[in-house]
Amino acid sequence: MEINIENKRALITCSSRGIGKDIAIALAKENVSVCLISRTENELKDLCDYIKDNGGKAIYHVMDLFINDKEKLNELKNKIKNEFGSIDIIINNANIIVSPKKLSLIDENDWYKTIDINLNFFFNLFRLFIEDMKNNKWGRIIHLISLTNYMNYSNAAYSTVKGALEYLNRNIVYDYSKFGINSNIITQGILDNEKLKKHFSKENIEKFLNNIPSRRLGKVSDITDLVIFLCSEKASYINGVNIDVSGGLSIVGMHY
Ligand SMILES: NC(=O)c1ccc[n+]([C@@H]2O[C@H](COP(=O)([O-])OP(=O)(O)OC[C@H]3O[C@@H](n4cnc5c(N)ncnc54)[C@H](OP(=O)(O)O)[C@@H]3O)[C@@H](O)[C@H]2O)c1
Give pLDDT, residue 214: 97
| Confidence class for position 68, pLDDT limits 50, 70, 90 | confident
Ligand 1 is surrounded, with C-beta below 6 A, by 14-20, 38-40, 43, 64-66, 93, 95-96, 117, 144-146, 188, 190-191, 195
The model's pLDDT over 223-250, given as tens digits with 9 standing for 90+, comes to: 999 999 999 999 999 999 999 999 999 8
Q: Which atom of ligand 1 is nearest to the CA of 43?
A: 40
Residue ranges of the domains in the chain? 9-193+220-243
Q: Which atom of ligand 1 is nearest to the CA of 162?
A: 47
**For a pocket test of ligand 1, which of 22, 38, 191, 246 has the largest count of ligand atoms closer than 8 A to its C-beta?**
38
Give the residue among 5, 7, 38, 9 at the shortest CA–CA distance from 21.
38
- Rounded to the nearest angstrom, the distance between the alpha carbon of 93 and the centre of ligand 1 is 7
The model's pLDDT over 119-172, given as tens digits with 9 standing for 90+, comes to: 999 999 999 999 999 999 999 999 999 887 666 567 889 989 989 999 999 999
Residue nearest to atom 15 of ligand 1 (CA): 18
pTM score of the predicted model: 0.96
Residue nearest to atom 6 of ligand 1 (CA): 146
The class that CATH gives domain 9-193+220-243 is: alpha beta
